Structure 1
């Protein structure tokens, strides 16, 4: 299994890797950073030779962030996606979290059997007010839907489409003080505003991290502000969607999803 330190999931699965930047949130992409470290071209979208069928080997239920090094709905993966959907259908014990910046491609690239699946969550990245329109593409999907407000690089106003979400993830940007892959500020007021709106509108909320900017200001031990024990209590909220999906025992503790 591909273990991960991402707080809102347990494992990652990358049937393909590589991506192309489409919005401001992509500026300091961690995949670009890591590919740069390995001397690889991050814009080359390639089918994985070793990881494509990995979930078939994982017998115990896992919460899986899907395509963490790409985008499930990226056009260059059209030839492989149906095969990947089949893997999801054959592994109902797992829960797949699919996060995209290409929501306009979602409904045209769902399998015919999508409504039979009970193990897929679909979300969109919304880093500032400019990307809020992505959320409307989740309307009427027969699955858990969510928005990842990370990296949160601008204040966001809650709207009626957000009321239809099952889950919101909030996080400041990670990065370095020098070099090509830095970080932008997330103001605590922006995060608090989204937390309060989520709670008010019965949308489960998960604060992932405060980000490197706030970690520096607050002199936190975790350099990216990901240790919940270091935060003010009003930010200490890590909920999961409560639709009936059972319980997943993970290395990060028991995630009760109903």
Structure 2
């Protein structure tokens, strides 16, 4: 699957959702320090990589999640960001998913030719509790992006979006519990509230995983296996496909790409059938590892 691009790695913790950061945990498992921030070597220009036939490995129409082991708007990455924007400028046929806990820095970090926004960029802020939702969503609304979403993961407290969804700016809400060291519980009623609110405003809601500790009807369930978390999230029936999000994708010369030439996700008949992320992922790359 070609769905992650990490032009740099490492981050500084800045809010409650960072307390048990999965990246820090995984780095510790490799005897590395997650607070060490560095530009990746082989992966910086990954969206531009090609196969032996000279075709892009990342296909037109795919969605790439950017900086999943860092923050795209991290201050320490200021020296590298223009080059990353240049990669996205060149691949206007690909959808780039940006996620940040630092929306206050975004306006000063946009490229010179941004204008009202590039139509292939999907900008999201993390809202792990109500405090961060009320802090970050008003900033999100003021920023010039054509596509906006919210990530409520790890969901460590209730989040009420009732006063924000009527604005019509939010196109998608992702939700998930917390994993790894020190995982805090995620509660069913928190997820149900978000699901109900998104349904009321026809906004896509994707409950991707329960987290290690999930509380429902007063009972705490310990679910250490992430695949089981994903299946249980899917089976909850809380995810919802809202109105279609339409990205305007073009080739390098600015011409529209015919629908028939865009990537169509495929799903594995077994491993993808009950996956919590199915609503919002690129599908199965048919790598053969799960057979």
TM range (shorter): 0.7 to 0.9
* Matched position secondary structure for 2:96: strand
- The equivalences for 1:1-258 within 5 A come to 3=1, 11-57=3-49, 58-61=57-60, 62-114=62-114, 115=116, 117-132=118-133, 133-140=135-142, 141-163=144-166, 164-175=169-180, 181-214=181-214, 217-218=220-221, 222-223=225-226, 225-227=229-231, 231-233=235-237, 235-237=238-240, 242-245=245-248, 248-252=263-267
CA gap 1:94/1:244 in 2 versus in 1, 3 angstroms? closer
CA gap 1:116/1:20 in 2 versus in 1, 3 angstroms? closer
Any conservation in 2 of the 1:11–1:64 contact (CA below 8 Å)?
yes
Structure 2 residues not aligned, in runs of 5+:
50-56, 249-258, 269-277, 282-291
**Larger-Rg structure:** 2
1:3-26 deviations in Å (ceiling 9; x for gaps): 4xxxxxx61101000000001101
- CA drift of 1:182 comes to 2.7
1:24-79 deviations in Å (ceiling 9; x for gaps): 10111111011111111211110111100010013413211100000000000000
Give the aligned length.
Answer: 243
TM-score with structure 2 setting the length: 0.75
Query: Whole-Å Cα distance in 2 between the matches of residues 250 and 83 of structure 1?
Result: 29
RMSD: 2.7
Any conservation in 1 of the 2:149–2:173 contact (CA below 8 Å)?
yes
- CA drift of 1:220 comes to 6.1
Query: Whole-Å Cα distance in 1 between the matches of residues 159 and 141 of structure 2?
Result: 19
CA gap 1:165/1:226 in 2 versus in 1, 3 angstroms? same
TM-score with structure 1 setting the length: 0.84
Any conservation in 1 of the 2:211–2:229 contact (CA below 8 Å)?
yes
Any conservation in 2 of the 1:128–1:153 contact (CA below 8 Å)?
yes
* Matched position secondary structure for 2:229: coil
* Matched position secondary structure for 2:186: coil
Any conservation in 1 of the 2:5–2:65 contact (CA below 8 Å)?
yes
* Matched position secondary structure for 2:24: helix
CA gap 1:113/1:80 in 2 versus in 1, 3 angstroms? same
- CA drift of 1:166 comes to 1.1
CA gap 1:34/1:239 in 2 versus in 1, 3 angstroms? farther
The structure with higher relative contact order (CA 8 Å, sep 6+) is 2
